[in-house]
């Protein structure tokens, strides 16, 4: 049987069968990787996880006491050796997308609002190139506003900082400050000093 190609896609019965089989295998793999059982996650008491939570490599995720994960949170990694530590009393709001390819620590009492996206890896121009992991530490008592995007070059977000809603954070954030904008810049320090 001869397979035809048009715009990079296979045509014909054989091609359609391959595409359907490929899709089915991906769904089965994603189902098993994202299945959350109490035994899969390394979690302590008082952890609340709402419906729609998906994660990859659950044995690499540590959820400490009092963590709250709202609905439709997606936690993923491009490699199986990375670690995610979510410290005590952290809240992950609806539709958060967290990539922990470069390893990620979220400090105590932090809040990630709705639709926050965190990236801890880069890759070359070719999207199929190997991921380049970059670690991130989010300090204690950090508030990340809704729709904020934390990119892979951010190595640290300091304690007691606030990321404004819709901000695109491209570099490290010091402790005790408010940042906002695209790209995010320091608006003011929380200890009363000016930004000059």
What is the sign, positive or negative, of the torsion defined by CA atoms of 44, 46, 47, 49?
Answer: positive
Please, what is the end-to-end C-alpha distance for the chain in angstroms?
72
**What is the phi/psi pair of residue 24, to 5°?**
-65, -45
Contacting residues for 52 by C-beta, under 8 A, at least 6 apart: 71, 72, 73
Alpha helices in the chain (DSSP H): 13-34
Q: What is the distance between the alpha carbons of residues 47 and 134, in angstroms, rounded to a whole number?
A: 27
From the number of C-beta atoms within 10 Å of its C-beta (0-12, 13-18, 19+), residue 83 rates as middle
Is 123 designated active site? yes
27: its two tokens: 């769904």
Catalytic residue among 54, 83, 97, 123: 123
Contact between 166 and 182 under an 8 Å Cβ cutoff? The reply is yes
Catalytic residues: 123
């Amino acid at each position: 049987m001869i397979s035809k190609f048009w715009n990079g896609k296979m045509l014909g019965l054989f091609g359609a069968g391959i595409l359907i089989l490929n899709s089915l295998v991906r769904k089965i793999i994603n189902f098993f990787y994202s299945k959350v059982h109490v035994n899969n996650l390394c979690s302590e008491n008082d952890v609340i996880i709402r419906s729609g939570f998906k994660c990859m490599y659950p044995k690499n995720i540590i959820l400490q006491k009092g963590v709250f994960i709202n609905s439709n949170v997606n936690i993923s990694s491009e490699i199986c050796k990375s670690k995610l530590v979510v410290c005590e009393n952290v809240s992950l709001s609806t539709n958060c997308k967290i990539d922990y390819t470069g390893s990620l620590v979220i400090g105590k009492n932090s809040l990630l609002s709705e639709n926050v996206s965190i990236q801890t890896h880069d890759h070359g121009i070719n999207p199929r190139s190997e991921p380049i992991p970059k670690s991130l530490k989010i300090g204690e008592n950090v508030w990340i506003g809704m729709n904020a995007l934390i990119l892979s070059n951010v190595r640290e977000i300091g304690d007691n900082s606030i990321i404004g809603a819709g901000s695109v954070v491209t570099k490290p954030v010091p402790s005790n400050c408010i940042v906002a904008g695209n790209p995010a810049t320091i608006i003011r320090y929380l200890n009363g000093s000016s930004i000059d």
